[in-house]
Amino acid sequence: MKKVAFYSLHKFEKAILENANNGRYALHFFEYRLSDETVSLSAGFEMISLFVNDDASASILEILYRQGTRFIVLRSAGYNNVDMKKARDLGIRIARVPAYSPYAVAEHAVALMMALNRKLIRANHRIRDLNFSLDGLTGFDMHGKTAGIAGTGKIGAIVARILHGFGCRLLAYDKYENTEIKEKYGVVYTDFPTLCRESDIITLHVPLTDGTKYLINEKSMALMKPHLMLINTSRGLLVNTSDVIQALKDQRVGYFGMDVYEEEEGLFFEDHSEEILQDDNIARLMSFQNVLITSHQAFLTDTALTNIADTTVYNLDCFSKNAVCENEIVIK
Ligand code: NAI
């Protein structure tokens, strides 16, 4: 039986993966992230599986290759944590889970919007303290507000559909226009500066690339309406955190919902409750009443986990036969 090493294995996925595997492969689960300190754990494994914060940079891929790894199956859609050029040069084949549930992520983005807008976390804390006053809990109607969707791929298009249901005016920025959402939901495509200028809510659904890194920075925020809402469920590095903190302090950004964080590696997904927090930016973000942070959980629904597990086992099946895999990431 072929063996597979799983890095960054979370408790919530273990049983679902075992069920999808159905005895096909010998699964070796490591809770550690892949890093230069943990790479030796998978020595001798031809196939390994990684998650979003595993470090598959060039030097680590070289070690993996020397150790015998030839196939990597990602339990994620994004692959910005993998040096794809290096993998191609080494001949390591990489497959991903292109779409496990765009609904899960889109719905979480909207959950962040609504929780921030209607101050649900604050209201809940207050009521548990037997404080039933409403002062400071005023929200706004979503109906009639302008929402700017940056990236209208699988997730952004679903966000458009949901927000259309609220009665929002929808602006979008993407390299390619999605005619379906234009026709069905009245989405208007525009350039990014116009989206910044006109939106009351901006939600990010572009992938992290060299072109989108720090899309939200001092310069783009200078264009935005005062007190706008910013939501990031895509990748932390789309947002320059220091610039957003300054804008929150200046009350230019009115709400910030973040499921991802540029320094999340080693922080998110793990229990640090016994430690002293060393990251000053996240500490400052946590101090704002109008910031809501979740720990990269937008994907976390039972539907998504089942799809991730099924596709991961399917990708292992393709690779173990050295067969064509439509989920393989091929770069030129
Ligand atoms: P997708 O590939 O279907 O859509 C991405 C869209 O962004 C495409 O329409 C593309 O044309 C557009 N785009 C790419 N580069 C652009 C640029 N420079 N300027 C303008 N538009 C650009 O991807 P999908 O499935 O919608 O996912 C979006 C992102 O969501 C992923 O890349 C990933 O980073 C993030 N994600 C976050 C999860 C979470 O749990 N928080 C889970 C899954 C994905």
Interval 261-315: pLDDT, tens: 999 988 998 899 999 999 999 999 999 999 999 999 999 999 999 999 999 999 9
Reference 79, options 52, 59, 102, 109; nearest CA is 52
State the pLDDT confidence band at 203, using cuts at 50, 70 and 90.
very high
Q: Is 41:50 a contact under the CB 8 Å cutoff?
A: no
Tokens of 222: 């200078």
Which one of 33, 75, 169, 296 is the catalytic residue?
A: 296
**Catalytic-residue membership of 235:** yes
| Residue 52 beta carbon below 6 angstroms from any ligand 1 atom | no
| Residue 161 beta carbon below 6 angstroms from any ligand 1 atom | no
**Catalytic-residue membership of 264:** yes
| Residue 299 beta carbon below 6 angstroms from any ligand 1 atom | yes
Provide the 10 A C-beta neighbour count for residue 317.
Answer: 13
Residue to mutate (ligand 1; options 155, 179, 196, 327; most atoms within 8 A of CB): 155
**What is the pTM for the complete model shown?**
0.92
CB within 8 A of 189, min separation 6: which ones? 171, 172, 173, 174, 177, 182
Residue 266 main-chain phi, psi, to 5 deg: 85, -5
Distances, alpha carbon 21 to alpha carbons 15, 154, 313, in Å? 10, 27, 6
Of all atoms in ligand 1, which is nearest to the CA of residue 178? 9
Q: What is the pLDDT of residue 266?
A: 85
Q: What is the pLDDT of residues 76-120, one digit of tens each?
A: 988 999 999 999 999 999 999 998 999 999 999 999 999 999 999
Distance CA 111, CA 322 (A): 41
CB within 8 A of 190, min separation 6: which ones? 171, 172, 173, 198
**Catalytic-residue membership of 296:** yes
Q: What is the pLDDT of residues 155-181, one digit of tens each?
A: 999 999 999 999 999 999 999 999 999
